[in-house]
Amino acid sequence: MIADELGRADDVERVLIDEKVIEKRLDAMAEEIDREFPSGPILAIVLLKGAFVFAADLLRRIPRPLDIECLNVSSYHGGTESSGVVKFLDHSLPDVKGRHVLVLDDILDTGRTLKAVTDRLLLEGCAAVHTGVLLAKDRPRAEDVQADYVGFEIGDEFVVGYGLDYRGRYRNLPFVGVLKS
């Protein structure tokens, strides 16, 4: 599907990663996770809102029992710059005690979100935190963190689509794209 069909042609400057390329990469990521993850059910923790599209498509490709939980965290508040503070918006956290968890996020940018979530889950007593992101920006991180599974390395530019938003919009684009400035 192209930007025109979604009525977004005026906003999207270019498609960075198209739907077919994402699908192919997710096949490989799912296979890698299934091969490397400790045996037994995986506890996947999906970071909302951005990771919901990526997680839905990735987790359906993993052929083993899965427990799926979501965590609602936010630091960009719809804009293009991190506020620097990662807010946990849920009243309680899932029970992760003794579990190997797979945290899924749409993008690794400053690293604050993955670091805050990882630290919090370890405090809650999980056995280990494994992390997977669709996108990792090639830029210095504010936190010393990296993802175990990365879909695509991208340049340091603001992207939308496939779950990622600008002011709450564009999450439903089926590709990752760059907005006009």
Q: Which residues bind ligand PRP (CB under 6 A)?
A: 47-50, 74-76, 82, 105-113, 165
57 vs 106 by CB, closer to ligand PRP = 106
Q: Which is nearer to ligand PRP, 33 or 108 (CB)?
A: 108
Catalytic-role residue among 109, 138, 148, 165: 109
Smallest gap from Cβ 177 to ligand PRP, in A, equals 16
Residue nearest to ligand PRP (CB): 50
Report the distance separating Cα 171 and Cα 43, nearest Å.
25
Terminal Cα-to-Cα distance of the chain (whole angstroms): 22
Nearer to ligand PRP, 25 or 171 (CB): 171
For the CB of residue 67, give the shortest distance to ligand PRP in the complex, in Å. Answer: 21
Q: In what order do the strands lie in the sheet with 149-154?
A: 87-88, 66-74, 42-48, 100-108, 128-137, 149-154
Q: Structure tokens of 157? A: 């530019």
Please report how close the Cβ of residue 8 comes to ligand PRP at its closest, in angstroms: 18
Helix boundaries (H) for the chain: 19-36, 52-59, 112-123
In one-letter notation, the amino acid at residue 70 is C
Q: Is 144 part of the annotated catalytic residue set?
A: no
Rounded to whole angstroms, what are the CA distances from 22 to 18, 33, 57, 95, 132?
A: 6, 16, 10, 31, 14
Decide whether 40 or 155 has the Cβ nearer to ligand PRP: 155
Beta-bridge partner residues of 149: 132
Q: How far is the CB of 40 from ligand PRP (least distance, A)?
A: 27
- Annotated catalytic residues are 109
